[in-house]
Chains A and B, each alone.
Chain A
Amino acid sequence: MKKFDLDDLFKNALEEQDFNFDPQAFKEFQSLSNNKNEKKRRIPILWLFLGFTLLFSGGAYFLYNNATKRDITVASSDTSSTDNNAYKPNKKVLEQVSEATNHTPNISKNIVAKNVISSKTEVTNPTDLKLNRTNIKTYTSSTENLNIEKSKALGKTLTDQNILVKNHINSHNSKFTYKSLQHTASVNAPNRGLLDISFLPSLNQILKDKKRSLSFNQKVKSLPSVIEKYCSKKDAYFLRASVGRGQLKSNHYSLGIGIAISLTERFGLESGLFYNYLSASKLKPHRGFAQKFNITGSNFYHNSIEADQLHLVSIPLSLKYKYKNISLSTGMQYSYLLGVRGTITDNKEGTEASRSTWIVETGIHRNIIHLQSGVSYDLCSRWSLDLTYDHYTRSLFTEQRNAQKLSSLKLGIRYYLKK
């Protein structure tokens, strides 16, 4: 007879017992498996939504920043107008513009047109162009010469390669700065000078560019499996959507994916990538913006352009303290301005009308840092409720007169993909 100590006695008796197959258990397994599959089908929708959001943000970024050689036509968009007093710059002006762009291909240019007359008055002396060289941004001009001979009037000229730029020059002393798309186009019209520069970038050009095209050929693994494979088991991953209200009656929306890294039992770090949309109808009118795309090509007389919708991508970094179901966090968030939409007001006929359009980002800080603190309450194992306060350390706008901070309070919900 074999003799065992206590542990061995239990080990030998219980480690590998023989059990017959139980069909009832297998039926339960099948129903469990079906339920899991149904849940799995729902998840890709979430990923698709997130993917589209990222794609949209990336696309907007490309459209703003990555066009290189384009056709540029500077024209009065009011071409259909029968107004005889419409501004028609002469050949001399165009030659000077051409000279400026051709001789300085790698520097930023500010082309200042003095004594440019409103579209309602006759052009008398549209000369005195001068070139200001600055190093703010690099401008890459096409090596092609601008064919000035063929262009008799502003409206058909400045052929670079792919961009179409249309201008309204409607007032005295209009000062306009133009850079190519990488760069932005901007208008500065101190005396209600209105300049509408529109870019129609060639989408095909961007998509054909191999370096920038996105490849979908690779087999995409599901994100949870990638997370499980490459990331630490202690880390938690979550999706967060939040809505809030801020200063100047601004509305704040945020959506993104985050990671919570536990340092100790109670303390941890949180970070992630979030898309933020900020809408504020009460921002002060900010002249100096220009319409970025003029898809419709309609004949708007633009009397004011106001920035009122900001699209940002943010990376927060905060320290988290967890006690039972409640987590407190504090830290900072870096945001990069992807794009701005503004409202153009039209009062050509004396009646107010406005439309929303993309505008260039001059006058707004592209890089924004703000402080963030928040409290989170775990509703259950996967869901939690977030309340966050964002405090902007500096104004959104570069100009002092538009010193507006948009600190906000947001209520959000987060879903843990892995906890």
Chain B
Amino acid sequence: MNIDITLLNKCISGDDRAIALLYKECFAVMKSIAIRYQYNNAEVNEAINTGFLKVVNGLTKYDPEQSFTSWLKTIAINSNIDLYRKKKVYLSRTLPVEDCAIYERYDAPIYSETEFNAEQLLSLVNQLPPVSKKVFNLFAIDGYSHKEIGLLLNMSIGTSKWHLSNARKKLKEELSSISKSKKIAI
């Protein structure tokens, strides 16, 4: 995504056309994030729009030396988490870190690239419990550490680890069942 600095300056000055152009540019990135965190189309649009509003309002704080895409992604993820907090579907479970150690030693299964498509994988992620889904998205896809996740979702590191392993366990089961059904079909 190439964003011209003049476009950003126009957006800061309140140029509606520039804002519309920036929206088009950012739409794919923001939707690809929102679709992983939210459950339906209305929620996805809400997350995109609130996130983009924050982007437009915060353009004055944007440092041009920083990558615009990573800045945009950070805002998009934070606004998704904020929406999640607002809706109060917070089902946090607290476990001591020691109890979670076992979940960290998971066997990384090997999957082939063509075995599953994005739509299938997304539906699997959406089947996860809300908190586990958030933790998995943040850790596995967006690259957040457990400490950062703990701060974002207001939970301990141990709880974050538990949710991650829970998500992995469920996804692994689902993937293996899909694989088996495919083989049977063949």
Q: Which A residues lie at the B interface, using CB under 8 A?
A: 1-7, 9-19, 21-22, 24-26, 28-29, 32-33, 36
Given A6-B168, A13-B121: A1 touches B114 (CB 8 Å cut-off): yes
Q: Which of B35, B110, B142 contacts A4 (CB 8 A)?
A: B110
- Mask, B18-29, CB within 8 Å of A = 1, is 001001100111
Q: A2-B113, A3-B111 are in contact. Are A26 and B32 (CB under 8 A)?
A: no
* Complex contact A14–B36 (CB within 8 A): yes
Asked whether B27 lies within 8 Å of A21 as measured between CB atoms, the reply is yes
With A2-B113, A6-B111 as given contacts, are A32 and B28 in contact (CB-CB < 8 Å)? no
Supply 26 A–B pairs (Cβ within 8 Å), ascending by A.
A2-B113, A3-B113, A4-B110, A4-B112, A4-B113, A5-B110, A5-B111, A6-B108, A6-B168, A7-B139, A9-B116, A10-B141, A13-B117, A13-B121, A13-B122, A16-B29, A17-B28, A17-B118, A18-B28, A19-B32, A26-B24, A28-B46, A29-B23, A29-B49, A32-B49, A32-B50
B interface residue numbers (CB < 8 A to A): 20, 23-24, 27-29, 31-32, 35-36, 45-46, 48-50, 52-53, 56, 108-114, 116-118, 121-122, 125, 136, 139-142, 168, 171-172, 175
CB–CB B24/A21 < 8 A: yes
Nearest-neighbor residue (CB-CB) of A32 within chain B:
B49
> What distance in Å separates the Cβ of B167 from its nearest Cβ neighbour in chain A?
10
- Cβ contact within 8 Å between B27 and A22: yes
Residues of B within 8 A of A1 (CB): 112-114
When the two chains form their complex, are residues B52 and A29 in contact, meaning their CB atoms are under 8 A apart? yes
- Report the number of A-B residue pairs with Cβ-Cβ less than 8 Å: 98
Contacts of A33 in B (CB 8 A): 53, 56
Contacts of B56 in A (CB 8 A): 33
- Closest Cβ neighbor of B57 among chain A residues: A36
- The answer to whether B121 touches A14, judged by C-beta atoms less than 8 angstroms apart, is yes
Q: How far apart are the CA atoms of A9 and B136 in the complex, in Å?
A: 13
In the bound complex, how far is the Cα of B83 from the Cα of A32, in angstroms? 15
- CB closest residue in chain A, given B120: A13
19 further contact pairs, Cβ within 8 A, besides A3-B111, A7-B140, A10-B171: A2-B113, A3-B112, A4-B110, A4-B112, A5-B110, A6-B168, A7-B168, A9-B121, A10-B125, A10-B141, A11-B141, A12-B113, A13-B118, A17-B35, A17-B118, A19-B28, A29-B49, A32-B50, A33-B53
User: With A6-B111, A14-B121, A19-B32 in contact, do A28 and B141 touch (Cβ < 8 Å)?
Assistant: no
- Asked whether B28 lies within 8 Å of A28 as measured between CB atoms, the reply is no
* B109, B140, B172, B175, most chain A CB atoms within 10 A: B140
A17 to B32, CA, bound (A): 6
Q: Are A26 and B20 in contact (CB under 8 A)?
A: yes
A10 to B116, CA, bound (A): 10
What is the minimal beta-carbon distance from A4 to any residue of chain B, in angstroms?
A: 5
Contact call B141/A15, Cβ cutoff below 8 A: yes
Rounded to whole angstroms, the CA-CA distance of A21 and B21 in the bound complex is 11
Q: What's the nearest-Cβ distance from chain B to residue A10, in Å?
A: 6
| Closest Cβ–Cβ distance, residue B155 to chain A (whole Å) | 12
A235 to chain B, nearest CB (A): 16
Alpha-carbon separation in the docked complex, A6 to B56 (Å)? 35
Contact B108 A36 (CB under 8 A): no
**Interchain nearest-CB distance for A28 vs B (Å):** 6
Q: Are A29 and B121 in contact (CB under 8 A)?
A: no
Chain B residues whose CB sits within 8 angstroms of the CB of A36 once the complex forms: 53
How distant is the Cα of A26 from the Cα of B17 in the complex, in angstroms? 12
B36 to chain A, nearest CB (A): 6
Residues of chain B contacted by A16 (CB below 8 angstroms): 28-29, 32
- Bound-state CA distance A33–B56 (Å) is 10
Known contacts A14-B141, A17-B32, A17-B35; A3/B110 CB under 8 A: yes
Q: How far is the CB of A407 from chain B (nearest CB, A)?
A: 39
